[in-house]
Chains A and B, each alone.
Chain A
Amino acid sequence: MTMSGLISKKSLIAAASATVLAFAANPAAAKDIVLGASVQLTGPVANTGRYYRDAYELAVEKINAAGGVKVGNEKRKLVLKIYDNQSDVNLSVRQYTQLVSQDKVDLLLGPFASNFALADSAVSEKYKIPMVQGGGASDQIFARKFKYIFGTLAPASNYFASTIEMMKGLKPAPKSVALLYADDSFDVSVGDGTRPKLKAAGFNIVMDERYSTNATDFNSLLSQIRSKNVDAVLVAGHETEILNFIRQAKSLTVAPKMYSFTVGVPSEDFRKALGKDANYAFGMTAWLPSADLKDRWFGDAAKFEAEYKAKYNYEPDYHAASGTADVEALAQAIENAGSTDPAKVRDALAKVKFDSIYGPIAFAANGQIDLPQTVIQVQGDKLVAIHGTKGAMNPAKYPMPAWNAR
């Protein structure tokens, strides 16, 4: 009697809640909005992966402190659900699948790195849950006509565009160029985008070499650079490779007139590891913490930088700014859509337009943002902006002196 009473009560509750779930337009109504992501917190790229977790957390905290996200007439808080993918692409795909199919998160934030975003965006596309990712710049991610992937890193193919603009104005002008790139999705896109730009600008490409990701020995390539007397070396690779490249350039006394790297230069940790040897290296960033970049939640980018540094005890770079913009883009799109319905948020994202700490956010038809890269250079212990959209900003230290003349 008691037993059957209990059972029937239980099944009643179950039936009732199922009905509520089935009939509610939004199962999470009046509840927190859950944003899911799988990020590299351990493994070989944990060093950059942490920017994304830290940025997501700071942005969510800030938006919630301002009352949360306005959906229709109510304010709802954001909640993060982050998994550590151990720098393993296959694991990250499984985790995104789990996020949407079992954890039932509302919307997705991205992982770091193009090869991850390339694989993970297949999950967001399949389940039709929008993913805003700030870690993958490869043009490949956006070349598949996917509707649910949005990216806040500028296209990889344009990374060296501003550098090439700057190179045209250098005196004495560099003539011969070596283009080296790692064999992964992002760096191949950089290489493919840079090659025609170099040719159009009249530079002579004397070396065009693809190398294995995680290569540690660059002595052979460096010896060729010296033997061909290359003026400018452009490298698209990963921080570990670029660290090795610069250290080995020094030990083989290879000093071209200039060298520039897609990653590393903006990161404090990278410059620290190299110490004085980082000097003269060029790089690029789509973001500098300027007070001119106004933001609804943080005030401006300079304030964001200060808050980020106070909370995490290291400097944010463009990865962190891009990750922050991803959370803001989702928040803004939810408000514009007046709903957390994935399809509605997706349509709102496609039309979104607002100013953020990262810059003006708006997505092209393929889902990718377009931001110009500012050329930066390590000068002494400072990072100096050299060349932006409006031309020269500060004088470049060029040509780079020989290693024994520093």
Chain B
Amino acid sequence: MDLLLQILINGVLLGGLYAVMALGLALVWGVLNIVNLAHGAFIMLGAYLSWHLYTYLGIDPFLGLPITAVVMFAFGYAMQRGLLNLVVKAPMFNTLLITFGLEVVLTYLAQLAFSADFRTINPSYAGNSIQLGMVVLPLARLLAFGIAIILTLAMWLFLLHTRLGRAIRATAQNLVAARLYGVEPRHLYAMTFGIGIGLAGAAGGLYGTVSQINPYIGATLTAKSFAIAIIGGLDNPLGVIVGGLFLGIIESLAVLYIGATFADVASFGVLVLVLIVRPSGLLGKTA
């Protein structure tokens, strides 16, 4: 019983981390209709940025998250204005190609710049935990989970209640009508992409405190984020939280009951099931 409870908690905390990773991908996908295959590479860059801030400037990885997010936001904004905007109206295949290319370039530039050595963001409290009866809550994961919830709620409120957020949603729904109301799509797309990449950067900082960083972590993180975005649905940031938690719990239970090799089988099996039963995601509008 204690074991099951612990495993469920592990799953929930893992899911929180998954959710932050997928948040930016889902936003960009939902608004710009770009499946950003370089998303994981941006998470990786965010992780390296946090690592540098911590290692060379002594900035705590959690307190440094806003810096990482802002720098990555600026990078994302520039990337969209300078590069992705060229293909935003092109067929899906072109955007897939360009983001795939971006992924390869960023990954190999990261190897040139940072080498293939493993890095960890390891402040003294990173391995600490809170003991509640028989259950252990790892501190870093708990913090990551809290930040995930805060970011998602902030995102949700931002999209619902701010002018910019409404403009973003309007553009996603109907570009022509949004333009008639004075929305400037180029700036708006770049803002959205920037926010998505800023979120990816923050996710990278969190990831580095619980896992290890090397230039090649991106591809798997993209795949995970992709699955979560589909499971949760693209309409609503809360869907991403649901998708992340769902996936985290399923994977943890699969390891316990079926075997550790089946974690991925279970998560992608769920993905397929969701696509069949609820193609717009668990919290998506039914078509």
Contact = CB atoms under 8 A, between A and B. Distances in A.
Chains A and B belong together in one complex: yes
Interface of A: 42-44, 46-47, 50, 87, 180, 183, 209-212, 214-217, 219-221, 223-224, 226-227, 239-240, 243-244, 247-248, 250-253, 269-270, 272-275, 277, 403
Given A212-B260, A220-B255, A221-B255, A247 B212 contact: yes
Nearest to A181: B260
18 contacts: A210-B260, A211-B263, A212-B260, A217-B14, A217-B263, A219-B7, A220-B251, A220-B255, A223-B6, A223-B256, A244-B212, A247-B120, A247-B210, A251-B141, A253-B136, A270-B118, A272-B117, A275-B122
A214 B117 CA distance: 16
Among A180, A217, A253, A269, residue most surrounded by chain B Cβ atoms (within 10 Å)? A217
Contact of B120 (A50, A224, A273): A273
B252 A240 contact: no
A44 B214 contact: yes
Given A216-B211, A240-B212, A274-B120, A252 B136 contact: yes
Contacts of A223: 3, 6-7, 10, 256
Contact of A248 (B108, B138, B251, B255): B138
A21 to B, nearest CB: 39
Nearest to B5: A223
B223 to A, nearest CB: 11
Given A243-B120, A244-B212, 5 more contacts: A212-B260, A217-B252, A219-B14, A227-B6, A253-B131
B28 to A, nearest CB: 23
Interface string B242-264: 00000000011101100111011
A46 B214 CA distance: 10
A224 B4 CA distance: 9
Contacts of B111: 42, 46
B206 interface: no
B220 A214 contact: yes
Consensus secondary structure, chain A interface: helix
B151 to A, nearest CB: 21
A42 B129 contact: no
Contacts of B128: 251
Contacts of B260: 180, 209-212, 215, 220-221
A216 B261 contact: no
A220 B255 CA distance: 6
Contact of B140 (A251, A273, A403): A251
Contacts of B251: 217, 220
A250 B118 contact: no
Interface string B138-175: 11110000000000000000000000000000000000
A220 B116 contact: no
A403 B2 contact: no
Nearest to A277: B127
Nearest to A243: B212
B47 to A, nearest CB: 13
Contact of A273 (B108, B127, B212, B216): B212
B138 A251 contact: yes
Nearest to B256: A220
B214 to A, nearest CB: 7
A46 B6 CA distance: 36
Interface string B209-224: 0111010100010000
Among A215, A220, A248, A252, residue most surrounded by chain B Cβ atoms (within 10 Å)? A220
B126 interface: yes
A261 to B, nearest CB: 14
A54 to B, nearest CB: 13
B184 to A, nearest CB: 40
A43 B216 CA distance: 6
A224 B3 contact: yes
Interface in B106-123: 108, 111, 116-120, 122
B143 to A, nearest CB: 11
B211 A247 contact: yes
A399 B118 CA distance: 28
Contacts of A239: 118
Contacts of B2: 227
